[in-house]
Structure 1
Amino acid sequence: MRCALQLACLRSSASSLFPAVSLSRSSLLVAALAASLGLAAAPSRAQSPLVAVPSLDAVVVTATRSPMRVDEAIADVTVIDRAGIERSEGQSLIEMLARESGIQFSSSGGLGKTGSLFIRGHEPRHTLLLIDGVRVGSATAGTPSIDNLPLDSIDRIEIVRGPLSSLYGSDAVGGVIQIFTRRGQEGFHPNAHAAVGSHRYGRLGGGAAFGDGRFDGALQVQTLDTDGFSATNARVPFGNFNPDRDGFEQNAANLRLGTKLGESWRLEGLLLESRGEVQYDDGPGADARARLRTAVQSLQAGGRVLDGWHTKLIAAHSVDSYDTVATANPFYDLGVIETSQKQFTWENTFATPLGTALALLERLDQDVSRPAAPFALSDRRIDAVALGLSGSAADHSWQASVRNDRNSQFGNQTTGSLGWGYAFSPAWSVGASYGTSFVAPSFNQLYYPGFGNPNLKPEEGKETELSLAWRSGGHAVRAAWFDSRIRSFISSGPAPVNIPRTRIDGVTLSYEGRWSDFVFGASLDRIDPRNETHGASFGKQLPRRSRVAFKTHADWIRGPWSLGATWAAYSDRFDDAANARPLPGYGTVDLRADWRFTRDWSVGARLNNVGDKAYETVFGYDQPRREAFLVVRYEPR
């Protein structure tokens, strides 16, 4: 309530001082500036900084569907905590994820625009997105819904690289990204923030986590508005160039409530709703606009059945909606394209002499709709069963899983994985793994009028990985080699076909650690994503991936202060399968500073793309030039 009143006061003050301006945009900017100016007069006390030191033994659940430390996982795993998320002011979730090793991105022009992630050089549709265990994404486009997710609702993110279809089913070829929303805490812990920046960017949000030992919850709200910049330039194909600004508005809220049921059982519910309106370019004249909606509702119950046997039940529903409300292109249909997914999961873990065993049953119902002519088929059902085992003894560790998915369209798909690790000294370890995976074609690929191919088959992958890791004190180094081969790869563009063979192999080197007051991280990715089918595209580089990517970051932390910088550099890439449209390589530098000037208040500044670099990740679509952002945060300690 306290946080909600603060947000209401900020809005009320802005409205009374500037009654003629639009509350949806200008009030955000005025309120945030007023907050920052007013807070500057507050007394200063040295407090802990916002930047968190990397945790090299964080607990993850995504790698095996059961809790384990990062250093126990054979797979390549990364955890992004709340402090890391807060250092990303002005960036999209896609841009933030792309700072991590093994991940690249493409974007069609800034916040809210269509973006894609490439994990280890794999297609965007080869990444599975989960929110608190619930599958989220578009079954029409076939890609995860990342563009419209609010950063303010996220507590932490787990990234697992490599095939995980044997645990999660379709789409988990390149990896899995699982987002965990904020959850309740004992006591009452409010938070609020206001931010302003380039392109008339404004963001206002707040919430609270609360609990009394038996009942707990978390509520978070956010509103964001930016005028943006022109998403396209004169190079864009099909005459889509329009030099106007392409803005983005977003309003989001999530509520998570939980309660204990007896000594070992817990019931938890989640509601997440994010609605956005994005402007984009599809030709001169009328400004094209679309309304975005991402929604998740889930109810989960879990606890101990017997000693060594824990169970969890999930009933969930997610919605991905794209409503075209205005367009300059007469060939585009106005109206809503929507994916509805209903998920039912029964997950059990058992303590055995060989480790933790997993037994899982799952059902997924997907329904899609589009304006004008409907798809030839608009729904499908997937029933799945999976078994897994993870354990360790002496210096050895192992992880194995197998899953069968029965798809109402494509029949049975069985996938499996096997991993082994060996610690040959207290600091050094090696790992080896092999896994298979698959991706079912999207409804657009199959049935989109005039473009789809109903004869497409699922893509099938297999990947081998070898790794070497060193961990000592606060330092961790990891080297991984992987070789991924995709059979029946689905081509992009109209009238897609199954390409017999593609191959992606590569090496990733990464480091995280701390020396004195400095926190460092760096990664180098060298991948070779290519078409191995004989013909005109034989040996061609797969579109929109750089063969080489280098990223490094450093933060200095002392008392209430932190200063940091990030540098990312990418080699040349191509925008098309024929490698006829090159995209030059580029590098960007970002700077950041944070100051916790009282126990409960902090201020942060960020300067993105310091060198004002002009670059493209999609041919003809601009990326942000130099941008500055200021944020004030309130979070009682």
Structure 2
Amino acid sequence: MSHAFLAARRPLLAMSVLAVAASAHAQNRLDTVVTTATRAPQKLSDVLADMTVLSRDDIERQAVGSVADLLRRQVGFEMVRNGGAGANTSLFVRGADTRHTAVLIDGVRVDSQASSGASWNAIPLAQIDRIEIVRGPASALYGSDAIGGVVQIFTRKGDGKPVVDLGIGGGNRGLVKADASVSGRTGIVDYALSVAAEGSNGFNARPAPATPTFTPDDDGYQSRNASLRLGVQLAAKHRLEVSALTSHVDSDYDSSATAKTDDRTISDTRATRLAWAAQWSSDLRSELSVGESSERYETQPSPYVTKTRVRTYGFNTSWNLGAAGTLQGLLERREDQLDNTGVIGGHGKRHQDAMGAGWSWASGPLSLQLNARHDRDSEFGGTSTGAVAGGYRLGAAWRVQASVGTSFRAPSLYQRFSDSGKANLRPEQGRNAELGLHYASGRDEFSITAYRNLVRDLIVYVSKPVSGVAGPCPNLYGCYDNVSEGRLQGLSLRGATALGAVRLSGTLDLQAPKDSDKASANYGKLLARRAKTHGTVRAETDIGAWTLGGQVLASSKRTDNLATGIKLGGYAQLDLDAQVTMSRQLNLQFKVENATDRKYATARTYAAAPRQVFIGLRFTPQL
């Protein structure tokens, strides 16, 4: 057993002995109101899904990195990145592929129809006020994409008297960050405006001597972003809100081209939404919305440009029936468009029309939730999904819950309309069952969730010999086809406790996401870049005006490529952070990521970020 693997296992084994697993206790206050689990407001304590909420305080403690760096520290998440914070990034939730997570920003679906899945590197951390995470399939609520889970990101929202928040900081390798926001309420209008910029000289992301064609230089990035939320209380029970976010990232990378050039990727993400929320009576509410997101990705000097536009229209209503529970109804339309030179004719279009219904009920210790949805795709016809969940309280502190559900993801427009696409591609289909036990009392929290998600008709690129065009592929070299199956199963633990003045928290994932296609040469093998064991351990305490924290992020070894069998070693990364309140208006932040300068990789030939030091000031003047 390798030293790297042992180094990664020690904190994970310690985690299982302590039986503490999850995010910080403050993020999971049971009275927190969330919307993602049912698409309607409810207390976190009533949610029947495996859910985590990250607050702005959690994000401030992060201080350095990206949204992906923050999420990889949550239970069920693994990250793969081709270099630094500005590089292409994938997130696996419970072993599901990155395209199997539905991502929303203020209710707007964000998705690339070229690369499949959200562009995580282009979502700005500085604009986020809260993140709600639901693990497990949620297509019965959100339609396509939600096979592995849902991540919903909320930007800042104004309330009360005006508040100004200013932040500035820097670190090694030329890291500079600055942000400013103003929010508040004036009469019937509430507002929140935020702008931010950051940049870094980066590091050499391709240091391997076996790749001499890559330019041995630092691969930095620059980004700038802004968000706006504006609400108008038209009447006591009617609210109109508009939100908008824009993000621009210009990042260096090393291409595999023979010429040693400075390659760049330019990513632009935008999301806008207009919504009208109405409370018709104490028991009846509705929301009408229209939203649009766009993702543009360009490489230079190699001439490649792709742009995705996703437009959604939605009507959501809920009716409280008292002792009989709550009914929900949903009508939704989604329109996808892809402009890409690799697509026949230069662009492709598709739309999905959906209707859904839900019922939730609670009486005494028992809670039930039913959801059903039907999506009709202009290319693939109809797909029906459903979910059933139940919970039972075993006293004041314990609750057991279980659920079953189905999910799907429609083929991307590139998979369908490129010269490697096939007219008979089918949506990927998931079928999940899970069982969870939760405990919460005072400063102690603990949960354990066992899940099994069978995903069939997985779409992969199938290569074939250049000898001819016979066979199902329209392209001489290969095509996308439904030829694989996956069995995603595992055990997730999370929790928090306190030992005196020290607050402890952590996560532990024991998983076996495997190829379950008996006709595959990889049958029974773990999926690429997934670890059997990964997790975190965090400790923090207050000393006077200081809050000191440290966290270990660890993973066991993974297979980088199933065809070659090449392994990626296990690792353990240590992060340190400190905050001091200098006055009611001024906070000083310190952060050291990868404090021991551990060298490891989440993708072969791509180095993970070395030690990153950050010092920042946050100023909130009283107005």
**TM-score of the superposed pair, with normalisation by structure 2:** 0.90
| Alignment counterpart, residue 525 of structure 2, candidates 540, 549, 563 | 540
Residue 238 of structure 2 corresponds to residue 269 of structure 1: no
Cα distance, 1:54 vs. partner?
5.3
Task: Report Cα offsets for 1:189-213 as digits up to 9, x if no partner.
Answer: 0011111012101011101112124
Which letter maps to 1:142? S
Deviations 1:484-511 (A, max 9, x none): 1011112257633323421011101111
Change (3 A) 1:515 1:58: farther
Tell me whether 1:257 sits opposite 2:224 in the alignment.
no
Residue type matched to 1:262 in 2?
A: A
Displacement of 1:512 after TM fit?
A: 2.0
User: Does the Cα contact within 8 Å between 1:517 and 1:558 map onto a contact in 2?
Assistant: no
502, 505, 515: which one aligns with 2:489: 505
- After superposition, the Cα gap between the structure-2 partners of 1:567 and 1:183, relative to the gap in structure 1 and judged at 3 Å, is same
Percent sequence identity is 34
Aligned mate of 1:477, from 441, 446, 462:
446
Partner residue of 1:427 out of 397, 406, 418 = 397
Match of residue 627 from structure 1: 612
1:280 aligns with one of 230, 253, 277: 253
Alignment of 1:48-447 (within 5 A): 55-234=29-208, 241-283=214-256, 284-327=259-302, 334-352=303-321, 353-371=323-341, 374=344, 378-447=348-417
CA contact (8 A) 1:254 1:272 kept: yes
Name the TM-score, length of structure 1 as normaliser. 0.88
1:465 to 2:434 alignment: yes
- For residues 303-349 of structure 1, the C-alpha deviation after alignment (integer angstroms, 9 at most, x for no partner) is 1123411010111111111022313xxxxxx1420001111010001
One-letter amino acid of the structure 2 residue matched with residue 300 of structure 1? A
**Structure 1 segments of 4+ aligned residues over 6 angstroms from their partners:** none
Cα distance in 2 between the residues matched to 1:567 and 1:92: 18
Residues 101 and 145 in structure 2, CA contact (< 8 A), matched pair in contact too: yes
Shift in alpha-carbon separation, 1:387–1:418, aligned structure 2, 3 A: same
Instruction: Specify whether residues 109 and 240 from structure 1 end up closer, same or farther in structure 2 by C-alpha distance, changes over 3 A only.
Output: farther
Closer, same or farther in 2 for the Cα pair 1:396/1:216, shift >3 Å? same
Preserved CA contact (<8 Å) 1:228 1:245 = yes
Residue 188 of structure 1, CA deviation? 0.8
Q: CA deviation at 1:455?
A: 3.6
Match in the other structure for 2:512 = 528
The verdict on how the C-alpha distance between 1:249 and 1:358 changes in structure 2, with shifts beyond 3 A counting, is: same
Q: Structure 1 residues 372 and 467 mapped into 2: Cα distance closer, same or farther (>3 Å)? A: closer
Which whole-Å deviations, capped at 9, do the CAs of 1:207-230 have from their partners, x for residues lacking one? 111212421100000011111112
Is the 8 Å Cα contact of residues 202 and 219 (structure 2) preserved in structure 1? yes
Structure 1, gaps ≥5 residues long: 1-49, 328-333
Change in 2 beyond 3 A, CA 1:243/1:492: farther
Alignment CA distance shift 1:375-1:355 (3 Å): farther
1:578 shift after superposition = 3.0
Distance in 1, matches of 2:209 and 2:67, equals: 26
The answer for the alignment partner of 1:557 in structure 2 is 542
Gaps of 5+ in 2: 1-23, 464-478
Q: Tell which deviates more after alignment, 282-291 or 561-570.
A: 282-291
What letter matches 2:294 in structure 1? V
* Equivalent pair of 2:25/2:505 in contact (CA under 8 Å): no
Alpha-carbon distance in structure 2 between the residues aligned to 1:466 and 1:196: 45
> 1:397-417 CA distances to partner (integer Å, 9 max, x unpaired)?
011100000111111000000
Residue identity in the other structure for 1:481: A
Describe the SS at the equivalent of 2:141: helix
Any conservation in 2 of the 1:139–1:442 contact (CA below 8 Å)?
yes
The CA deviation at 1:591 is 0.4
**Contact between 2:435 and 2:451, CA under 8 Å: does it hold in 1?**
yes
CA distance in 2, matches of 1:53, 1:562: 16
Note the alpha carbon deviations across 1:556-587, whole angstroms, 9 max, x for none.
Answer: 12442100001011011111233612111111
The amino acid across from 1:457 in the alignment is R
**RMSD value, Cα:** 1.9
The letter of the residue matching 1:255 is: L
- Partners of 1:163 and 1:175 within 8 A in 2: yes
> Letter of the aligned partner of 1:521 in structure 2?
S
Q: Secondary structure of 1:273's match?
A: strand
The one-letter code matched in structure 2 to 1:316 is: G
Could you tell which deviates more after superposition, 431-440 or 505-514? 505-514
Q: Residues 404 and 432 from structure 1, CA distance in 2 versus in 1: closer, same or farther, beyond 3 angstroms?
A: same
